[in-house]
Amino acid sequence: MSIISKTSAGTSSSSSVVIEPSELVLVTGANGFIAQHCIALLLKRGYRVVGTARTADKAKLVEQTHHHHPCLSVVVVADITSRESYLSVIRDSEPVAVVHMASPFSYDVKPSDFEATVMKPAVDGTLALLGAAAKSGASCVRRVVLTSSLACVLDPALGRGAGKTYTAEDWSPLTYEDGVVAADAPSAYRASKTTAERAAWDFVAREKPAFDLVSLCPGMVFGPWLEGAGPRTLEEVNTSNRIVWDVLSAGGDARVPATRAPVWVDVRDAAAAHVGALSGAEVGGKRYVVVSGVYCNQEIADLCRGDHAAGTEKSSCRGGISMTDEERRRVPVGQPGKREAHLHFAVDDGSRAEMELGIGGWRGLGECLEDLVPQLLAVERGLRDS
């Protein structure tokens, strides 16, 4: 697939709010995969951070992950949809900005649970957070960065949509009701993210709060975990990295699993985009597609099997992916070098996000897999954080 650059307008007029290092940022879902990298980068850049997690154990783990950094505290918000809980956190800590990442991202959900466990936490959680940030007396908040998704940009009715190039101006048509009655969990997830992001922009337009909104729409996020913050079991591997595991473990003679979400970004670049959304000038009121490029599962398989010739310069590995011969043989062969980009839609090439959010270049798939795959294999061997 060709990736075509297009500039897209913000959803509301941009503002020049800039959140400076040393100021305090609230990060919801602080124990999550992307959040751990985002918090690490915020701390590295000199921000102070207050995170939220659902339980005291998870809060403690976040503090451990970041080595009890003096500029980090983590509080428990058990119910993501409780405006009062967020209000109390905001009143107590007075953050100047919020990064709202907490939202369900699991494909392991029964249809009967879609509304209660996918739609409501995503949508009501976003509105609870925004309502708390906007409530009079809590007007310290100047910016909210919403972790949205490329799922909110794509139109599922177009299917693979070859010939279509999506930009940040595109919107998924999925509704709340579509999520409740969705045929499968990925569809419910896509509806939950779309409805939550729409609700956020509608809230800002209607309530005109003291803060502005930036929404980020990452493609599928792959990459390593911070030391001590990875999964203990394969069941705990987060939904996006599971795609890589499913290729790695399919079996040498098996078919390469079908590629379902062909656009990706490295988790460290996704984190950098969030920090850039706080510190970038003129980004307020805008929506960004956050993608490194396209991929397919055959490319993951080729890179893992060491078939470097099949990769592009950008996707190739630095030194090769560390795997035993036996582990390498378990990766399906498929049709080495076969790529699917021409068969499906294209996406904004990420250059606008790269420039305006200050990303110093997107990592390639090879580099990402070099760091992720050994961690996945270590989890399989029961060796957390090798």
Which residue in 49, 18, 28, 39 sits closest to 278, CA to CA? 18
Query: Is the CB of 273 or the CB of 310 nearer to ligand NDP?
Result: 273
Looking at the Cβ atoms of 124 and 356, the one nearer to ligand NDP is 124
Beta carbon of residue 181, minimum distance to ligand NDP (angstroms, whole number): 20
Cβ count within 10 A of residue 301: 23
Angstrom distance (rounded) from CA 155 to CA 81: 27
Task: With contacts defined by CB under 6 A, name the span among 24-32, 62-70, 293-301, 371-379 that binds ligand NDP.
Answer: 24-32
Residue 259 touches ligand NDP, criterion: CB under 6 A = no
Report, in Å, the least distance between residue 156 CB and ligand NDP. 15
What b-and-e string marks burial along 251-271, b requiring 16 or more CB atoms within 10 Å of the CB?
A: eeeeebbebebbbbbbbbbbb
Question: Among 61, 168, 200, 220, which residue interacts with ligand NDP (rule: CB under 6 A)?
Answer: 220
CA 110 to the chain's CA centroid: 23
Q: How far is the CB of 270 from ligand NDP (least distance, A)?
A: 7
Q: Measured from the CB of residue 123, what is the shortest distance to ligand NDP in angstroms? A: 11
| 376 binds ligand NDP, rule: CB under 6 A | no
Subset of 66-105 contacting ligand NDP (CB under 6 A): 80, 101-105
Is residue 29 a contact residue for ligand NDP (CB under 6 A)?
Answer: yes
| Interface with ligand NDP, residue 114, by CB under 6 A | no
What phi, psi does 15 have (nearest 5°)? -125, 165
Token pair of 233, please?
A: 């079991």
Q: Is 42 in the site for ligand NDP (CB under 6 A)?
A: no
Does the footprint of ligand NDP cover residue 172 (CB under 6 A)?
Answer: no
Contacts to ligand NDP by CB under 6 A: 29, 31-35, 54, 58, 80, 101-105, 121, 147, 149, 193, 218, 220-221, 238, 240
